[in-house]
Amino acid sequence: MKNSLILILILCFQITYSQKVDLTGIAKTSENRGHVMIVLNDTLRKLPEYFPDSLYQKMWKNKNLICFSDGNGSFTINADLNDSLVFSRDRYISQTHKVSKLISQQDSINVILEPTPCVEYIPCNETNPELYIFIGEKLDVSPASQPNYCNTVSIDSKSQSKYKILEKFTNNLNAENINFVSYDHFSKVKYDEFQNVLLFVGKYCDSLIHQKYQYHPVYKMKNGKWASPIFEEYDLTERKSDKQPHKVEMAEPITIPGYNSYRKLEDIYKEPYFRIEKGKVYMLYGYYPEDLITD
């Protein structure tokens, strides 16, 4: 009898604690601007790196996961008592609040976001940067934060990258590893989605920066050379080389990047450039690095 009573109490507690509630309040900036984004449990940031775009778009439209305060700052969202809400707006400091605490302020929920401190952006006027060209093996690529500039707004994401240098094509590389930053503007396919890449990095005002969108995934061939495949979908090599591709023989099959894991191989790796055998992809034609390096 005692055990049954404890079980009932636990169930009642779980039911009560997971109760859905409607939260209504104000979320705006310290300058009295509305349009603050409110995300349930920081859902969007926790999505897998290769989450399909179609599902990502559906989540953006799901008002149970994300909503925005209106121009006056008013908002309403439905959530569980054990949820958290993340309030954010570009160039402002985000805030996270537990629903269980907000519900106690139901008549006076008032979230005010303060602006992030800003610094002056000083552009680099380097017109002829020193260029580093190499085949690199990815060691680490991590998101990097950018300052909140007072005089400009960047819409590019920033990454900090570390690569092992496997083969050099310029004489200015003396280390085994190289660290550089990159900026990207919503690319469908980024260089860091491949393990080994022919990379172009420039030195701008003493900072090493990846030459935006200039890269070629490479794979080892049986003859010991590196070669880059031809992709009809987003081919970088075909547009940057006027040479004919070489017939090649791969040492190992292509590793399928995560962003293609939910698509049919036949739709991506097409004949006559590729052969698919027992679920593995082999490059039949490709470019050598010297074909892709132009003056």
Q: Is residue 162 part of a domain?
A: yes
Rounded CA separation 156/160 (Å): 13
Backbone φ, ψ for residue 62 (5° rounding):
-85, 105
Report yes or no: 217 and 228 within 8 Å, Cβ to Cβ.
yes
Indicate whether 71 pLDDT > 70. Answer: yes
What is the tens place of the pLDDT at every residue in 3-25? Answer: 444 333 333 434 444 588 889 99
Largest pairwise CA distance in the chain: 85
pTM: 0.69
Same domain? 138 vs 206 = yes
H helix and E strand count, the chain: 6, 20
Q: What is the pLDDT of residue 259?
A: 65
Choosing from 201, 217, 233, the residue where a domain stops is 217
What is the average pLDDT score of the chain? 84
Same domain? 34 vs 124 = no
Tell me the residue type at 293.
Answer: I
Closest to 36 measured CA to CA, from 109, 104, 117 = 109
Same domain? 60 vs 131 = no
Choosing from 217, 248, 273, the residue where a domain stops is 217
What is the tens place of the pLDDT at every residue in 236-270? Answer: 544 456 778 899 999 999 887 766 666 788 888 88
- Residue 41 tokens, joined: 């449990």
Walk across the sheet containing 95-98 and list its strands. 66-68, 37-40, 84-88, 95-98
Residue given tokens 């030459």 in the structure block: 211
Same domain? 247 vs 182 = no
Q: What is the pLDDT of residue 233?
A: 52
Rounded CA separation 248/289 (Å): 13
Length of the chain: 295
> Per the structure, how many domains does the chain have?
3
Q: Is residue 211 part of a domain?
A: yes
Closest to 166 measured CA to CA, from 287, 293, 284, 289 = 289
For residue 101, give the CATH number of its domain.
Answer: 2.60.40
Report the run of H or E that residue 196 belongs to, with start and end.
Answer: strand 196-204
Q: What is the pLDDT of residue 59?
A: 74
Closest to 228 measured CA to CA, from 274, 288, 168 = 288
Q: Is residue 107 part of a domain?
A: yes
Mean of pLDDT values over 120-134: 92
Same domain? 173 vs 234 = no
What residue numbers bound the domain in which 274 lies?
220-295
